[in-house]
Structure 1
Amino acid sequence: MNTADLGLPVAVPSTALFTDQYELTMLQAALRSGTADRRSVFEVFTRRLPEGRRYGVVGGTGRVLDAVENFRFDETILGFLRERGILDGPTLEWLADYRFRGDIWGYPEGEVYFPGSPVMRIEGTFAEAVVLETVILSILNHDSAVAAAASRMSVAAGDRPLMEMGARRTHELAAVAASRAAYVGGFHTTSDLAAGFRYGIPTVGTSAHAFTLLHDTERDAFTAQVDTLGSGTTLLVDTFDVTEAVRAAVEVAGPELGAVRIDSGDLLLIAHRVRQQLDELGATKTRIVVTSDLDEYAIASLAAAPVDAYGVGTQLVTGSGHPTCSMVYKLVARADSEEPGAPLRPVAKKSMGAKTSLGGRKWAARRPDADGVAEAEVIGTGPVPAELADRQLLVPLVSAGRVVAREPLDAARDRHIAARAALPLSATQLSRGEPVLPTEYV
């Protein structure tokens, strides 16, 4: 869900300057050389997964569609480019009428991917496709990194809810995108109200240590919060002495106290002690929430603890050690002329080392084994084998410049759960390993 679904107005600025200058200087040179209108195919992929990761998660597709739709050069932007002397007059005139009129195909949001997977394919003239490189990569690299971290944390948490709480640990705009990507990856709520407003993600939040310190006693703080938010609220109990705080919390709110939150210390030990104390006080239904610098490994270590929910911040919004997916945007095919029917021919970078790429417009499919479990990511440039025809992964996202694949955010979230469940069981191991599926080229 987004604000359009909620009927709420949101100002959408142009995304045209979310680009690197060389994209526009390439455009200018191509216009001069007469090659700008050659039909071209660009693909987004990564050569490898972050070290130790077994699968990637496609995040940010919906934001890419918004960015492409709002990639417009208004007079203010054109004036900036003119004043800086970045582009000549004819190029500025061309940009004034810019609209992406091509096609975009891609893995749907929430799908998993592997090294070489053509996560997104952009088809159009060279001129209209090349300028989208940076904005598409910046969205997919960030959101997919957060979604992958969220997925791993979701696996570690099992059925216990996850709260995204990382807004203060990243750029204010990145925080909103991170909340969205975390929801796709399996988180349930966010503390970021901008994300709740923009995307309809459920929001949560009660109080911090400052609220306790504001009052003369901890009991006074608890009383004020319960009087305002009701006995079902969550009380923060680690400002001073946890045992005393839990006792005061139950005395103030009664046995129907919603939850207590622990934000420091030995979470495993404290959670067990707090659970025992709550039960002895008759608050048997009061939940325990923990929120102290968690990542997927810390969450997994608490699997046997009486914890009911987790709040995650820094490690989530920074991709749990891998803040980018290293996706690239490469020209893989182009026509030999500007004629509308000119055939495409494969092109590819052939540099030394690991930065080579495979030319040609690609399809991708995921081959299952006899039990229906995925066993390989199959990528090809020729005809699709009959047995893989109904297993293809790329879907149309933009057709002739028109977005055709908008969907509720919950659809991407549900898709990810299903895609992850179709992988071999070893995909959910948190230990370092190779990609759970091999990539086969045919």
Structure 2
Amino acid sequence: MKSADLGRRVGVPSTALFTDQYELTMVQAALKAGTAGRRSVFEAFTRRLPEGRRYGVVAGIGRVLDAVENFHFDEEMLGFLRDQSIVDGPTLDYLADYRFGGDIWGYPEGEVYFPGSPILRVEGSFAECVLLETVILSILNHDSAIAAAASRMSAAAGGRGLIEMGARRTHELSAVASARAAYIGGFDTTSDLAAGFRYNIPTVGTSAHAFTLLHDSESDAFRAQVDSLGRGTTLLVDTYDVATAVRTAVEIAGPELGAVRIDSGDLLLVAHRVRQQLDELGATETRIVVTSDLDEYAIASLAAAPVDAYGVGTQLVTGSGHPTCSMVYKLVARAGSSDPADELRPVAKKSMGAKSSKGGRKWAARRLDEEGVAEAEVIGTGPVPEELAGRQLLVELVRGGEVVAREPLDAARERHIAARAGLPLSAMQLSRGEAVIPTEYV
């Protein structure tokens, strides 16, 4: 991964309080016990994919790097912790000087993952690593869920355009992160200007029904929009009667009309009728954009319709029914003392049921079949088999506290396209099923 600016990281506040209180109280207890400095390895992974999903999509790595860089406690934060008696004096002293100084390895953004994949590996002292748990999981769980939904929608769209337009359906900051994750997963543009500003994602947008209703007639509204934005604009044609609106739109903009948008009704039927009408009016190059609570299933159902682009909001920014990936952040290895030379020893939760985990500092590789298609996610703690040495998935992200792997967002987007293309064809099926390849431990 080459070093590059991920976007405009302007005015980024400290991320230190984007955490749970028990992260700080664990540090306090570990400092008192003399174990806070023990060299430790934490890994972020998921035990299973959301029900019905065939693969996961890694998103949020760039935002994690920003969060790690900006994880520090200022005087106001320390005053809050002191006033609320959340931690004691020695712990406040530790937090005042906190900067992550360890190493982070992880799957590069846009890569696909499966149950057990060590998506992120964080190494350093126990105290400096455990403090990052909540903010890392918050970012990865949200962004990867959105990217997975976007990827499924992108596959269903079959190369047709996709517009992210969910800003009004979620928290304003989540909207920006969602647009970023959706772009990685295959969306082409966003309506959210904050996302465009921060991450250089192409932005689009013209008008809503309110603009038509503002004017005395639909033709007045269309004329005002064309006069302002040009003939290549997109006119919303379902405020009143669609057929009348399409005819009026072409009369005003001419055959150079860029697109019409349909936001209600039986989209399959209406799209066919509008396409026929546009062609009869000579607007053969005018595109058709459909919106209206779409998800991957609705997009797939429109595959036979003459639709050029889809605008997706609510279902995208809520992960299309799966708003989290259920990732966890677990200690998998630690030293027996604070001596930096002390050997790491595997540790793991051994509770009954599905919440047990596998200890040890892990590597991961993807085994391919004879045709170059992925056939297994292979995870191990010992030497990497020679045949998998060139297929390892984790890359270095942070070395000694310094970020070493920034990259343009387009690189993550392109990586995802390639990673998804390397999966078995059944990965693109929308029917419920298990992970498209198995996870093997060696």
TM-score under structure 2 length normalisation: 0.98
Q: Specify the alignment match of 1:205 in structure 2.
A: 205
Give the drift of 1:5: 6.9
Give the drift of 1:15: 0.1
Residue identity opposite 1:394 in structure 2: L
Give the drift of 1:17: 0.2
Is 2:174 the counterpart of 1:174? Answer: yes
Q: Specify the alignment match of 1:258 in structure 2.
A: 258
Residue identity opposite 1:304 in structure 2: A
Residue identity opposite 1:201 in structure 2: I
Residue identity opposite 2:294 in structure 1: L
Q: Specify the alignment match of 1:50 in structure 2.
A: 50
Q: Specify the alignment match of 2:398 in structure 1.
A: 398
Q: Specify the alignment match of 1:271 in structure 2.
A: 271
Unaligned runs of 5+ in 2: none
2:297–2:430 contact (8 Å) kept in structure 1? yes
Residue identity opposite 2:166 in structure 1: G
Aligned residue runs from structure 1 range 384-423, under 5 A? 384-423=384-423
Q: Specify the alignment match of 2:189 in structure 1.
A: 189
Q: Specify the alignment match of 1:318 in structure 2.
A: 318
- Write the deviation string for residues 83-122 of structure 1: whole angstroms up to 9, x where unpaired: 1000111110111110000000000000000000000000
Provide the rounded CA distance (Å) in 1 between the counterparts of 2:431 and 2:234.
33
- Write the deviation string for residues 30-63 of structure 1: whole angstroms up to 9, x where unpaired: 0000000000000000000000100000000000
Provide the rounded CA distance (Å) in 2 between the counterparts of 1:275 and 1:370.
44
User: Structure 2 vs 1, CA of residues 56 and 5 (structure 1 numbering), >3 Å: closer, same or farther?
Assistant: closer
Is 2:329 the counterpart of 1:298? Answer: no
Aligned residue runs from structure 1 range 125-204, under 5 A? 125-204=125-204
Q: Equivalent residue of 1:178, what SS?
A: helix
Q: Specify the alignment match of 1:339 in structure 2.
A: 339
Runs (4+) off by over 3 Å: 3-6
Residue identity opposite 1:253 in structure 2: A
Q: Specify the alignment match of 1:122 in structure 2.
A: 122
Give the drift of 1:417: 0.3
Q: Specify the alignment match of 1:244 in structure 2.
A: 244
Q: Specify the alignment match of 2:282 in structure 1.
A: 282
Residue identity opposite 1:58 in structure 2: V
Q: Specify the alignment match of 2:82 in structure 1.
A: 82
Q: Equivalent residue of 1:13, what SS?
A: coil
Unaligned runs of 5+ in 1: none
Q: Equivalent residue of 1:354, what SS?
A: helix
2:142–2:323 contact (8 Å) kept in structure 1? yes
Identity over the aligned pairs, expressed in percent?
Answer: 83
Q: Equivalent residue of 2:356, what SS?
A: coil
Give the drift of 1:4: 5.7
Q: Equivalent residue of 2:353, what SS?
A: coil
Give the drift of 1:10: 1.5
Q: Specify the alignment match of 1:68 in structure 2.
A: 68
Residue identity opposite 2:265 in structure 1: G
Q: Equivalent residue of 1:14, what SS?
A: coil
Q: Specify the alignment match of 1:99 in structure 2.
A: 99
Q: Equivalent residue of 2:396, what SS?
A: strand
Provide the rounded CA distance (Å) in 2 between the counterparts of 1:275 and 1:12.
46
Give the drift of 1:370: 1.1
Q: Equivalent residue of 1:254, what SS?
A: helix
Q: Specify the alignment match of 1:373 in structure 2.
A: 373
2:6–2:407 contact (8 Å) kept in structure 1? no
2:5–2:407 contact (8 Å) kept in structure 1? no
TM-score under structure 1 length normalisation: 0.98
Provide the rounded CA distance (Å) in 2 between the counterparts of 1:412 and 1:357.
29
Residue identity opposite 2:146 in structure 1: V
Provide the rounded CA distance (Å) in 2 between the counterparts of 1:288 and 1:419.
30
Q: Equivalent residue of 2:108, what SS?
A: coil
- Write the deviation string for residues 251-270 of structure 1: whole angstroms up to 9, x where unpaired: 11111100000000000000
Q: Equivalent residue of 2:255, what SS?
A: coil
Residue identity opposite 2:49 in structure 1: L
Provide the rounded CA distance (Å) in 2 between the counterparts of 1:275 and 1:351.
60
Provide the rounded CA distance (Å) in 2 between the counterparts of 1:12 and 1:156.
36
Give the drift of 1:371: 1.1
- Write the deviation string for residues 165-218 of structure 1: whole angstroms up to 9, x where unpaired: 000000000000000000000000000000000000000000000000000000
Q: Equivalent residue of 1:30, what SS?
A: helix
Provide the rounded CA distance (Å) in 1 between the counterparts of 2:319 and 2:138.
14
Q: Equivalent residue of 1:268, what SS?
A: helix
Provide the rounded CA distance (Å) in 2 between the counterparts of 1:159 and 1:184.
15
Provide the rounded CA distance (Å) in 1 between the counterparts of 2:354 and 2:287.
50
Provide the rounded CA distance (Å) in 1 between the counterparts of 2:124 and 2:298.
46
Residue identity opposite 1:235 in structure 2: L
Is 2:9 the counterpart of 1:41? Answer: no
Provide the rounded CA distance (Å) in 1 between the counterparts of 2:88 and 2:96.
13
Q: Equivalent residue of 1:255, what SS?
A: helix
User: Structure 2 vs 1, CA of residues 104 and 9 (structure 1 numbering), >3 Å: closer, same or farther?
Assistant: closer
Provide the rounded CA distance (Å) in 2 between the counterparts of 1:346 and 1:245.
67
Residue identity opposite 2:410 in structure 1: D
Residue identity opposite 2:203 in structure 1: T
2:57–2:110 contact (8 Å) kept in structure 1? yes
Provide the rounded CA distance (Å) in 1 between the counterparts of 2:48 and 2:9.
40
Q: How many aligned residue pairs are there?
A: 440
Give the drift of 1:398: 0.3
Give the drift of 1:352: 1.0
User: Structure 2 vs 1, CA of residues 297 and 372 (structure 1 numbering), >3 Å: closer, same or farther?
Assistant: same
